[in-house]
């Protein structure tokens, strides 16, 4: 059987024209998973029974003409989004056997649109990492070069899309966890504005930075999936009641009248020359499409974003992860005394990076250090947000690389946490600012993908989708598929 | 910025995370290195700048105080490592 490989848009048309059934489509993707997942290791759980059940239901709806644009389309969900009755591990020993009693808001929406969930994807433990090497379960490989990392923390979702194990996926992004793996795997990934998508049922990492978003094969699919997941939710009081447009309406092929800025601070010291070259070519393309590009933009507080992020995110994480006490759910260490059981539960249930961040955050919040670290970082966060606001008075969107390098080798940065943190340097300022951004395929060097990041105004995902779509129409990068 | 062994143990106690001997040494080095790199933050002039806790302008979102069904106790307790009737079983806090 040859695998059917389609985008959401193509699947939707084939299903509606009854050229293929959702059962056939789903079987084909499950077969592909069986063929390639033993090499790329993207999935923690393959939900084949549920998928076939959902596919049968989708086919019934299609038969009676009651199908939406995403009915019957396979999707993969990152394993930090709760799925009722299906193990949700966060790729942690702490939650290895956790069965959520409810669905995350985004999972409810995916189900309400009658999509077909084929699996849950591997990630850095509790979404803390930039390579998916921090998974306590196994390491995911980049399909473009199996000896390299796929990026992280949504590495499994990005790989599942790139390797054709699914049509699309959901990931979460706290400091780049959708965009950086999207760039590393040559797929399209968006972190929407903070508050655009409900976080209800997303296992919390850093609550003021976490946001769920789509990973897809092209920009049209990104818009289609964003249509499904966007919108306020009374169970997440940080989700914002802004109207949700139809995101497919902003997809236009020319950029006339748009003002784009290229902030020079994102072209960091140590950036790979090939990344800068790819960016130069991409920016020229955007100009040819009619955009007015200013290459001399400066956002001078950008270099402080790394420190701000790695103070604030661990601080929030140290508070959020206090809930893992071995009492209500999750790993529990057997000991006689309560304190010993608690400390041993956390010693053995958390992996090294999670412990490192809990320690870092606890330190930054502790008496005597709170003002110098946590409060200082919160103030510099204000300055970074102000800079974005100022820039967006002049520019409709900002253009940067997604990552300063191509995917690195598995094991290359695991001994030096600070070097690992640096690989998020272009993506973290966006979460600090709460603004939306996406990564799209922009080129290759030696067969390894390079992503371009497009940053937009709060709640203006439409403009970044517009820029991304126009660029995609004019280029072929997104059509290059990997052999696994 | 150097984090001593005692400081590492103090933070670990605050966070209630047990650490193996090898982890104490490694964390002391790694956290010191990370914090040293973050000292640049102190160069930024933040006089008169208010802190930001989250980037969205929403304030104290209110809702009606309506009674809605909660999860069935069995669903919630299904993941409990130790259970007694409809309760989570915990170890004695006071000994």
pLDDT at A3: 87
DSSP secondary structure, A313-343, as one string: HHHHHHHHGGG-SSSSSS-----SSHHHHHH
- Based on its alpha-carbon atoms, the radius of gyration of chain A, rounded to whole angstroms, reads 21
Count Cβ atoms within 10 A of the Cβ of residue A196 and give its class: 0-12 exposed, 13-18 middle, 19 or more buried. Answer: buried
For the record, the structure tokens of A35 come out as: 């063929």
Largest CA distance in chain A: 70
**Nearest to A11, CA basis, from A19, B65, A106, A3:** A19
Q: Tell me the count of A-B CB pairs closer than 8 A.
A: 163
Residue A153 is among the residues annotated as catalytic for this protein: yes
> pLDDT tens, B12-63?
999 999 999 999 999 999 999 999 999 999 999 999 999 999 888 778 888 8
Which member of A304, A306, A379 has the closest CB to residue B49? A379
Whether residues B75 and A101 touch (CB distance < 8 A) is answered with yes
Task: Dihedral sign for Cα B17, B22, B23, B25, please.
Answer: positive
Name every chain A residue with its beta carbon within 8 A of the beta carbon of B83. Answer: none
| Residue A177 a catalytic site member | yes
User: CB A358: neighbour CB atoms within 10 A?
Assistant: 29
Report which of A276, A250, A78 is spatially closest to residue A168, judged by C-alpha positions: A78
Probe site for chain A from B3, B5, B10, B16 (most A CB atoms < 10 A): B16
Structure tokens at A171: 């990931």
Nearest to A383 among B27, B49, B81 (CB): B49
pLDDT at B78: 96
Question: What's residue A293's pLDDT?
Answer: 98
What would the two tokens of residue A51 be?
Answer: 């998928």
A436: nearest CA in chain B?
B55
Structural domains of chain A, ranges and CATH numbers in brackets: 1-484 (3.90.1300.10)
Which of A139, A120, A178, A128 is closest to A39 using CA atoms?
A139
Task: Look at phi and psi of residue B16 and say left if phi exceeds 0, alpha if psi is from -120 to 50, else beta.
Answer: left
d(CA A175, CA A427): 6
**Yes or no, beta carbons of B80 and A328 under 8 Å apart:** yes
Percent of chain A with pLDDT over 70: 100
Q: What is the pLDDT of residue A1?
A: 53
Compute the C-alpha angle A389/A394/A397, nearest 5°.
75
At A465 the pLDDT is 98
B24 touches chain A (CB under 8 A): no
Query: B41, A377: Cβ pair inside 8 Å?
Result: yes
* Residue A275 zone, left/alpha/beta (φ > 0; ψ -120 to 50; rest): alpha
Query: Token pair of A125, please?
Result: 């433990």
User: What's the longest Cα–Cα distance across chain B?
Assistant: 57
Q: Is B44 on the interface with A (CB under 8 A)?
A: yes
Among the partner residues B15, B20, B54, nearest to A362 by beta-carbon distance: B15
Distance in angstroms (rounded) separating the CA atoms of residues A325 and A329: 8
- Name the closest residue on chain A to residue B53, using Cα atoms: A378
Give phi and psi for A148, each to the nearest 5: -115, 160
Please choose, from the candidates A483, A419, A406, the residue with its C-alpha nearest in 3D space to the C-alpha of residue A451: A406
Query: Is A92 one of the catalytic residues?
Result: no
CB contact B25 to A (< 8 Å): no
A326, burial (CB in 10 Å: exposed 0-12, middle 13-18, buried 19+): buried
Residues in chain A with pLDDT < 50?
A: none
CA-wise closest residue to A166 among A53, A7, A2, A1: A7
B82:A382 CB<8 A: no
Q: Which of A131, A135, A153, A154 is catalytic?
A: A153
* B55 alpha-carbon distance from chain centroid: 21
- Per CB-CB distance under 8 Å, the chain B contacts of A380 are 41, 44, 46, 49
Q: Phi and psi for A96 in degrees, rounded to 5?
A: -55, -30
Nearest CA in chain A to B92: A338
Judged by CB atoms closer than 8 Å, whether chains meet at A240 and B81 is answered as: no
pLDDT band of residue B66 (cuts 50, 70, 90) is very high
- Nearest-Cα distance to chain B for A165, in Å, is 30
CA-CA-CA-CA torsion for B51, B53, B59, B65, nearest 10 degrees?
A: -140
Spatial CA neighbour of A150 closest among A172, A128, A169, A177: A177
Asked if residue B31 lies in contact with residue A311, where contact means CB atoms within 8 angstroms, the answer is: no
B95: confidence class by pLDDT, cuts 50, 70, 90: low
- Report in angstroms the alpha-carbon separations of A171 from A193, A327, B54: 14, 28, 21
Q: Which of B14, B33, B38 faces A307 most closely, judged by CB atoms?
A: B38
């Amino acid at each position: 059987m040859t695998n059917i490989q389609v985008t959401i848009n193509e699947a939707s048309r084939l299903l509606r024209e009854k050229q293929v059934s959702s059962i056939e489509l789903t079987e084909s993707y499950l077969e592909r998973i069986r063929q390639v997942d033993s090499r790329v290791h993207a999935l923690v759980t393959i939900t084949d029974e549920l998928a076939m059940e959902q596919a049968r239901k989708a086919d019934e709806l299609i038969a009676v003409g009651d199908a939406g644009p995403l009915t019957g389309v396979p999707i993969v969900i990152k394993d930090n989004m709760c799925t009722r009755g299906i193990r949700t591990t966060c790729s942690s020993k702490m939650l290895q056997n956790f069965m959520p009693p409810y669905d995350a808001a985004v999972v409810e929406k995916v189900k309400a649109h009658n999509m077909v969930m084929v699996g849950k994807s591997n990630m850095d433990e509790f979404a803390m990492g930039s390579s998916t090497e921090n998974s306590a379960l196994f390491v995911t490989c980049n399909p473009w070069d199996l000896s390299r990392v796929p990026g992280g923390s949504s590495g499994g979702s990005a790989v599942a899309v790139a390797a054709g194990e699914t049509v699309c996926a959901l990931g979460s992004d706290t400091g780049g966890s959708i965009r950086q793996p999207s760039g590393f795997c040559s797929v399209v990934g968006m972190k929407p504005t903070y508050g655009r998508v409900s976080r209800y049922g997303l296992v919390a990492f850093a609550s003021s930075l976490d946001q769920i978003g789509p990973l897809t094969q092209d920009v049209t699919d990104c818009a289609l999936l964003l249509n499904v997941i966007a919108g306020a939710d009374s169970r997440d009081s940080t989700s914002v009641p802004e109207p949700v447009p139809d995101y497919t309406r902003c997809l236009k092929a020319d950029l006339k009248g748009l003002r784009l800025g290229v902030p020079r601070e994102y072209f960091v010291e140590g950036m790979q020359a090939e990344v800068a070259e790819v960016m130069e070519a991409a920016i020229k393309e955007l100009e040819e499409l009619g955009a007015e590009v200013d290459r001399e933009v400066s956002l001078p507080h950008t270099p402080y974003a790394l420190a701000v992020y790695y103070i604030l995110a661990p601080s929030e994480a140290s508070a959020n992860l206090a809930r893992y006490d071995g009492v209500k759910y999750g790993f529990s260490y057997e000991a006689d005394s309560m304190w010993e059981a608690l400390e041993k539960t956390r010693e053995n249930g958390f992996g090294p990076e999670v412990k490192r961040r809990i320690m870092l955050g606890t330190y930054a919040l502790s008496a005597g250090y709170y003002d110098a670290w946590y409060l200082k970082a919160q103030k510099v966060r204000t300055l970074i947000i102000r800079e974005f606001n100022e820039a967006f008075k002049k520019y409709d969107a900002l253009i940067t690389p997604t990552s300063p390098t191509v995917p690195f080798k598995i094991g290359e940065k695991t001994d030096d946490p600070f070097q690992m943190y640096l690989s998020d340097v272009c993506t973290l300022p966006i979460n600090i600012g709460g603004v939306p951004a996406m990564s799209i395929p922009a080129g290759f060097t030696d067969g390894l993908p390079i992503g371009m990041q497009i940053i937009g105004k709060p709640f203006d995902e439409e403009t970044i989708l517009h820029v991304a779509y126009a660029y995609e129409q004019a280029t072929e990068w997104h059509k290059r598929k990997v052999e696994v | 910025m150097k984090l001593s062994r005692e400081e590492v143990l103090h933070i670990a106690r605050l966070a209630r995370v047990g650490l193996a001997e090898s982890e104490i040494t490694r964390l002391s080095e790694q956290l010191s290195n990370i914090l040293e790199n973050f000292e640049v933050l102190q160069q930024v002039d933040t006089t008169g700048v208010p802190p930001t806790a989250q980037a969205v302008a929403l304030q104290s979102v209110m809702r009606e105080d309506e009674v809605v069904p909660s999860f069935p106790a069995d669903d919630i307790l299904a993941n409990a490592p130790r259970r007694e009737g409809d309760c989570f079983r915990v170890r004695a806090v006071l000994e």
